[in-house]
Amino acid sequence: MNPTARITEIRARWSAAVRALRSLDRSARMPRLLDAPSQAGDPAACMRAQRVVVVGLGSVGLAISDLLSRASVAWLLLVDRAQIKPESVLTHPVQPCDIGCDKATLAGQRAKAVSPNTRVQVFSGPVAELPPDAFVGASAVFLSSDNLACELEVSQRCLQLGLPLIQASVHGPTLVAQVRSLANAAGGDGPCLACGYQASDWEALDRGTVFSCTGGPARWNGIPTVSPAHLCSLAASLAVTELLGRSAGLVPASESRLIEYCGFQHRTVVTPLLRRAECQRDHGRWQVVPWARRLATATPRELLAAAGCTDPQALAQVSLTVPGFRFRGLGMCACTRHPVIERFQRIGAESAPCTDCGSPLDFHPLYTHAQVPGIALRAQLDRSLGQLGADAADAVLVRRHDEVFLFHARKLPVPANSR
Amino acid sequence: MTLQTQPAQPVHGLSTLSAVSLSPEREEFMRRVGPTSQGSPAWRARKPVEARELLALETIAPRIEIIALDLTTELLAIVRMAVTVPCLARDGELVVVGQADLALCYPEEILHGPLPGYALVQIHRPRRVWHPNVSDDVAQRICLGANVPKGYPLREAVLGSYAALTLQSISLDQADPAGIMNPAALSYWNDHKARIPLSTAAFLDPPASAGARRAGGAP
């Protein structure tokens, strides 16, 4: 994890316009749905209650973010690692003055300006560097990235947390706008994005291929997909309509499907998506456990007990991970062969000096763990994570047999707009 | 006159590692690690396969010895290898030592997608390795390429490390940052290409003596 990349909050700049926007009756422009289920009676309320993550803020994702802010969703977490480039102006809903801006920050500022009551957070970095609890509390995740590694990372997180995933994409040469809508429903056996991967997709993943929608000459490992802006905004609209359908109960909660619109014939095809039995991804669901106080004050024993591991003999079957930290059991120094450390250390941090000779301690590769075996913690079970060096622990993963428990102390986003 | 001979031992190579018989101690080790191995079912199934291949490689390759192996969470191993390693001596001279301890960390993520080329192997000993594809820090990570593909076998990481350390396989392209971990060492080896490779011995050849030798010239 990159310690410099952080989730940051976008705040409204107070003005008369903001006050006017805050007091708008935002339901007035949202229709009642004809012949809809009872919970769809107030679609505006359905959308206002949504807590949404958008990963990938290019031609499609930026349009999704704009549409969600106009629906006044409760919470938006916007994720992208890139900046607006000159060629982005051709396909993204941006202006030339936006060139050079962080995509996530720009999208966040625009969303907050349109919907001051929406809580808006942004992350300008790779999605893989988000903490594992970053999506906790979300009601849906939108994905419109340009690379398969990001796709798989987001798909895996949604599977683990049981979040609906709506992926929007386009194929310019066939004028196709496509939305994959994955239910990831509790108790379901639905598909993940990798269930649909063919051999060529895995090859593209290994090559790190980037399917950029900004056009222009192909860069190293880049394939421009030359996507017209109108097709991208159409894909975004289809995706947001799918969210409305899911939140209003128009789509069965356990149904996963592919929606394809083709501009050649103006035809739309909806196809069910099913899990592939031989999918190589782990389809296991995590148990998400809110922790009432700061995790730095929790001891390994408390966390293991909360995961159902109270028997000291069972330590051999559990492990504990503090994202962003490694546990160092032993060090190595020229003066002392294996000094005991038994502390967490932030990834990338300098080693503590040897207490005897002052020279930097080497880590011992066999006793350094990201996923710490329970056995390695047996002498430290009653010291808090903070005392063990993980004073900035935001989340902890405990694995016991095939079960994974995600402990987090995250304050869930509260809808600022409860009108 | 007939000559009575022992039954012929099959000759194994890198392509027949799965057919190599392990010593009884190694077989016993493999039996013992099974119950303590953690992770998803796919990961628990994969780790013994990779570990067995590593032990089979040790059986047929006289230049490596598995010092330690742990399958509890990540697959961790320390491999002692008879190999040429360019290092800086205290006086700043380049010396080539004959042995390295490689720390292998093979994480579950390798099942799901490609990893950065520097994610798997670190040089634990010796220190102060002077190599373009080895990071000039405490970790001393070996970069095996821009990335290693999904499912990359651990044995390939060992073979790739041997090729890198002997300079049989080396990235010296200043324009391609993928693989370059030490730009100063890159400049040095670009100026001393005549010394490349440090050894032409194949991985399965018996190793030469492991003494250090001066390569001459201060980087």
Task: Provide the 3-class DSSP secondary structure of residue A334.
Answer: coil
∠A127-B142-B54 over CA atoms, to 5°? Answer: 100
Whether A149 has its CB under 8 Å from any CB of chain B: the answer is yes
Number of domains in chain B: 1
Residue B86: domain span = 24-214
Give how far A172 is from chain B: nearest CA, Å: 27
Which pLDDT score, from 0 to 100, does residue B18 have? Answer: 87
Looking at the DSSP assignment, which residues form a beta bridge with residue A132? none
Which CATH number characterizes residue B146's domain? 3.10.110
Which pLDDT score, from 0 to 100, does residue B87 have? Answer: 95
Taking chain A (419 residues) in runs of 10, the rounded mean pLDDT of each run is: 70 81 77 72 86 96 97 95 88 90 95 93 93 94 91 94 96 93 86 90 75 48 70 97 92 94 96 91 91 94 93 87 92 73 85 74 83 92 95 92 90 57
Q: How confident is the model at residue B219 (pLDDT cuts 50, 70, 90)?
A: low
Q: How many residues does chain B have?
A: 219
Mutate to test the interface with B, among A151, A207, A282 (most CBs of B within 10 A): A282
Tell me what ipTM this predicted complex has.
0.74
Q: pLDDT per residue over B3-28, tens digit each?
A: 555 545 557 788 888 889 999 999 99
Pick the more confident residue, A24 or B76: B76
Task: Provide the 3-class DSSP secondary structure of residue A363.
Answer: strand
Summary mean pLDDT of chain B: 86
In the structure encoding, which two tokens stand for residue B50, read together? 């990779």
Which pLDDT score, from 0 to 100, does residue A220 have? Answer: 41
**B39 contact residues in A (CB cutoff 8 A):** 399
Give how far B176 is from chain A: nearest CA, Å: 11
Task: Provide the 3-class DSSP secondary structure of residue A176.
Answer: strand
Which pLDDT score, from 0 to 100, does residue A39 have? Answer: 63
Burial of B155 (0-12, 13-18, 19+ CB in 10 A): middle
The yes-or-no verdict on residue B88 having pLDDT over 70 is yes
Whether A366 has its CB under 8 Å from any CB of chain B: the answer is yes
Yes or no, beta carbons of B38 and A319 under 8 Å apart: yes
**A149 contact residues in B (CB cutoff 8 A):** 113-114
B4 in a structural domain: no
B219 in a structural domain: no
Which pLDDT score, from 0 to 100, does residue A213 have? Answer: 53
Q: pLDDT per residue over B105-154, tens digit each?
A: 999 989 888 888 999 999 988 989 999 999 988 788 999 988 888 899 99
Mean pLDDT of B175-195: 84
Closest Cβ opposite residue B73 in set A284, A365, A371:
A371
Q: pLDDT per residue over B31-75, tens digit each?
A: 988 788 888 888 999 999 999 999 999 999 999 999 999 999 999
Secondary structure element (H or E) that encloses residue B212, with its range: none
Task: Provide the 3-class DSSP secondary structure of residue A258.
Answer: strand
B158 in a structural domain: yes
In the structure encoding, which two tokens stand for residue B100, read together? 């390295």
B128 in a structural domain: yes
Closest chain B residue by Cα to residue A279: B112
Closest Cβ opposite residue A206 in set B35, B41, B149:
B149
Tell me the C-alpha distance between A141 and A125, whole Å: 17
The overall longest dimension of chain A from CA atoms, in Å, is 79
Tell me the C-alpha distance between B63 and B177, whole Å: 31
B173 in a structural domain: yes
B18 in a structural domain: no
Strands B64-70 and B75-88: antiparallel
B200 in a structural domain: yes
Backbone torsion region of residue A229, taken as left when φ is above 0, otherwise alpha when ψ lies between -120 and 50, otherwise beta: alpha
Name the residue among B105, B70, B72 with its Cα closest to residue A372.
B72
B152 in a structural domain: yes
Tell me the C-alpha distance between A120 and B167, whole Å: 51
**pTM summary value:** 0.83
Closest Cβ opposite residue B74 in set A206, A318, A371:
A371
In the structure encoding, which two tokens stand for residue A130, read together? 């988000």
